[in-house]
């Protein structure tokens, strides 16, 4: 297992609307799937309000701990879009109008009947030293500063931004996964399953109860970075289930 | 506004399956709506893996900061269910078999053809000094220690546990909310909307872009704890929109 490379990430969702329940987040599940596909381990997610102190604290606490940070939300043109300012504060750099972002918006608005107002210019702001993150859906860019990737909250735009970031990310050894459907509740298998976990300590064995129509069943998931080790644990689990 | 009472909360979702993308969380949105309905402000959410150090750190960092903490996940009978142990570590107390939980499971399994095995007995464990949280769906209880409420991850059971906790919670002054549909993108309204926010600083005005079929529109949400102040801000916004 000496060739295993582990790359980690955290996600920070920024927005009062998620915490009030008004908007149901769709970005966490997408980013979780996306990073798993790239071989990057999502280790933590936080959701915070549109409040500078909360955003600064979360960014600074996460960015030193994980390889990459991905944020969603708060980069639009309105007064409650304070992610660029807050990330600048977190890094201790000025929040500037990024020249490339200004050029992009100038070109875009010249081709429409809309004016590039002072408010729309808010969407050109990034921390000094940031690179832009482009997206194929809308013109207003996100940005990256060091290991922090700042993306839009609108799912379609966030997803396009992930596509544009993906080629720049270092990938880790992919976590492989096997799912085994178990017709029994967790209580029926937990003893032997714990023993199998002990005997296959290079894999992570999770067990996920379902409760439908008054009946429990379980999905058992084996994860690991070696196909052989994952298969060996799966065989042990299937043998155990056959014996019940 | 002197009669306003603010009660805050954080939610902690525990589970590898959410971070890997295998399971899409359904509990955060439910808890957000539920707490808003009770007049409790959800201020932060974290999702962490099934790792003791991560759970302990999150519990200890959140429980001193907010009135209430609600956790979901990790209280089943299998080896990866380590929430009771981790919360005990966070509070510096032993993890014990709760006598009342033992009695509940003994009675339950006596009425079935299942055995109350050592693994199933895992579901009776709580930090010393905890009270049980009952639920109408399954027998295995959650628990509360000080301001931390530990609930199941299966949505139906978690929801039943919230119903059983609700009467014990202190309610704050409810955050009222008015939504105004705006046919324009955020860029068209962000200047005047920011001024309205400045003039109605006892309300929180949020603006949420939508992007459908190549067209932007916006939902503007005014929130506040006084109906009069929320109404006044909504009138100002409607007047502004009529003038565009």
Q: Which of B87, B64, B92 is nearest to B133 (CA)?
A: B87
Q: Is A176 on the interface with B (CB under 8 A)?
A: no
- Residue B136: its pLDDT value, please? 86
pLDDT band at B17 (very low <50, low <70, confident <90, very high): very high
d(CA A67, CA A24): 27
Across residues B221-244, what is the average pLDDT?
A: 95
B131 close to A (CB below 8 A): no
User: 3-state DSSP call for residue B95?
Assistant: strand
CA dihedral B143→B127→A42→A216, nearest 10 degrees, is -50
CA torsion, ordered A126, A37, B46, A202, to nearest 10 deg: -130
Q: Can you give the pLDDT at residue B237? A: 97
Find which of A33, A50, A72, A186 to mutate to test the B interface (most B CBs within 10 Å of its CB): A186
pLDDT over 60 (residue B200): yes
Query: Hey, are the CB atoms on B190 and A119 less than 8 Å from each other?
Result: yes
Chain A, nearest residue to B51 by Cα: A43
Whether B6 has a pLDDT exceeding 60, the answer reads: yes
- If you measure CA to CA, which chain B residue comes closest to A49? B43
What residues form DSSP beta bridges with A151?
Answer: A72
Place of tokens 């380590």: B82
Amino acid B121: pLDDT? 94
Other CB atoms within a 10 A radius of the CB of residue A112 amount to 9
Measured in whole angstroms, the distance separating CA A1 from the mean position of its chain's CA atoms is 26
Is B156 close to A18, i.e. CB distance below 8 A? no
Provide the whole-model pTM: 0.94
Strand partners, B127: B95
Q: Is A98 left (phi over 0), alpha (psi -120 to 50) or beta?
A: beta
Evaluate if residue B1 carries a pLDDT over 80.
no
Q: What residue ranges define each of the domains in chain B, with the CATH number in brackets?
A: 7-168 (3.40.980.10), 176-242 (3.30.70.2860)
Q: Is the Cβ pair B177, A20 closer than 8 Å?
A: yes
In this prediction, residues B159-186 reach a mean pLDDT of: 95
The pairing of strands A142-145 and A131-133 is: antiparallel
Angstrom distance (rounded) from CA A8 to CA A92:
24
Using the predicted structure, report yes or no on whether residue B21 has a pLDDT greater than 60. Answer: yes
Spatial CA neighbour of A83 closest among A14, A17, A147, A31: A14
Contact criterion met (CB below 8 Å) for B27 and B87: no
Residue of B nearest to A45 (CA): B47
Q: What is the pLDDT of residue A2?
A: 57
Considering only CB atoms, B117 lies closest to which of A46, A77, A187, namely A187
> Which pLDDT tens digit goes with each residue over B109-157?
999 888 899 889 999 999 999 999 999 888 899 999 999 999 999 999 9
The rounded distance, in Å, linking the Cα atoms of A86 and B93 is 38
Contact list in B for residue A236 (CB cut-off 8 A) is none
Q: How far apart are CA B218 and CA B209, in angstroms?
A: 4
Cα dihedral: B46, B51, B57, B59 (round 10): 60
Chain B residues 73-92 with CB within 8 Å of chain A: 76-80
Q: Are B73 and A183 in contact (CB under 8 A)?
A: no
pLDDT in tens, chain A (244 residues): 558 899 999 999 999 999 999 999 999 999 999 999 999 999 999 999 999 999 999 999 999 999 999 999 999 999 999 999 999 999 999 999 999 999 999 999 999 888 899 889 999 999 999 999 999 888 899 999 999 999 999 999 999 999 999 999 999 999 999 999 999 988 889 999 999 999 999 999 999 988 788 788 999 999 999 999 999 999 999 999 999 8
Establish if A39 touches chain B: CB-CB under 8 angstroms. Answer: no
A215 touches chain B (CB under 8 A): no
Q: Which residue of B has its CA nearest to A48?
A: B44
Flag whether pLDDT at B166 surpasses 90: yes
């Amino acid at each position: 297992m000496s060739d295993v490379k582990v790359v980690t990430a955290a996600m920070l969702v920024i927005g009062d609307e998620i915490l009030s329940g008004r908007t149901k987040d769709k970005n966490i599940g997408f980013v979780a799937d996306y990073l798993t596909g790239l071989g990057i381990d999502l280790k933590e997610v936080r959701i915070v309000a549109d409040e500078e102190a909360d955003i600064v604290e979360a960014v600074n606490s996460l960015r030193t701990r994980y390889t990459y940070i991905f944020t969603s939300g708060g980069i639009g043109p309105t007064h409650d879009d304070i992610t660029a300012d807050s990330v600048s504060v977190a890094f201790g750099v000025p929040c500037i109008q990024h020249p490339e972002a200004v050029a992009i918006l100038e070109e875009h608005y010249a081709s429409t009947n809309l004016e590039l107002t002072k408010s729309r210019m808010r969407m050109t702001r990034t921390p000094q030293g940031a690179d832009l993150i482009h997206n194929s859906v809308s013109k207003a860019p996100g940005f990256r500063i060091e290991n922090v990737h700042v993306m839009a909250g609108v799912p379609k735009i966030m997803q396009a931004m992930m596509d544009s970031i993906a080629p720049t990310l270092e990938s880790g050894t992919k976590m492989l996964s096997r799912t085994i459907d178990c017709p029994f509740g967790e209580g029926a298998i937990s003893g032997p399953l714990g023993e199998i976990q002990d005997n296959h300590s290079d894999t992570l064995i999770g067990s996920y109860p379902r409760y439908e129509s008054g009946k429990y069943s379980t999905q058992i998931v084996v994860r690991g970075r070696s196909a052989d080790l994952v298969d060996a644990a799966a065989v042990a689990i299937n043998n155990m289930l056959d014996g019940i």
